[in-house]
Every structure is written in C-alpha cells, then in structure tokens.
Amino acid sequence: MRRLWREAPYLTGGLALALLVATVFAVRLALGALFWADPEHRDMPIAPWMTPRFVAMSWHLPKDVVTDALGLNPGAKRDGHGPEPLSRLAEERGVPVADLITDLEAAIVAYRASLPPDGAPAHE
C-alpha cells in the first residue's frame, strides 16, 4: 500500500475515496433491503407522518398510483426541505389529513382490484 501511495498518491487517494463511496452505498442498500423485507413494514396503516414514497413502498404501489391519488405533479420539484409527509401536504392544501388518507386508501383498493388474481402487476 505504501508503494502505491508513493508511486501514485492521487490515484491511490481516488481509489480509496471510490471504495468509501461504494461502501456507503452498499450499506444503504443492505439496510433498505432489510427494512423492507421485514413483514412488519408491509401494508402499514397510513399515518400523517408518512411520505408518499413511503406509502408506495409499504403498499407495493407504483408511484403514479400514489401521486394521482394525492393530486401531485410527479415532475414538480418541492421546496427542497426533504420529503413531504402527508400532514404537510394536507396543511398546504388546507384539507384534513384524514381526507388524503381516505383518498390513498381508495386508490389502493382500486389498484389492487385491477390486479390479476395471482396478484402480480399486469405487464404493459
């Protein structure tokens, strides 16, 4: 390792940095896989603290089902404060969060009713 550092310090530093970044992403991937593999995180009751993405992940829904149910523009950028929980989306619209949750639950029922009997999403 010392020989590498002496002969090519910038390349060795770049390699170390690349390995560090790859390790961070690998750990994030593993933690995410462990979290979503836990049956406790599947079909969780929708709560005001959840983000639209969390609902989609928990209920195994395509993004567009959630964005359509909430009336979100999928291409629009938010204010940059991170993921918007349902409570904040409801507050911005001036509606009770229970209304958004009801809309999401109705969309989930409709989506699941549209699936083939085996439960696999239809190929388009």
- The answer on 53 and 91 residing in a single domain is yes
pLDDT of residue 123: 54
pLDDT of 122 strictly over 90:
no
Do both 46 and 102 map to the same domain? Answer: yes
> What's the mean pLDDT in 37-46?
87
pTM of the model: 0.72
Question: Per residue in 45-82, pLDDT tens?
Answer: 999 999 999 999 999 999 999 999 998 876 666 666 66
CA terminus-to-terminus distance, the chain: 52
> What secondary structure letter does DSSP report for 37?
H
Tokens, residue 95: 């509606």
In a domain, 26, yes or no: yes
Q: Is the residue at 122 inside a domain?
A: no
Block residue for tokens 């462990």? 34
Structural domain containing residue 16: 2-37
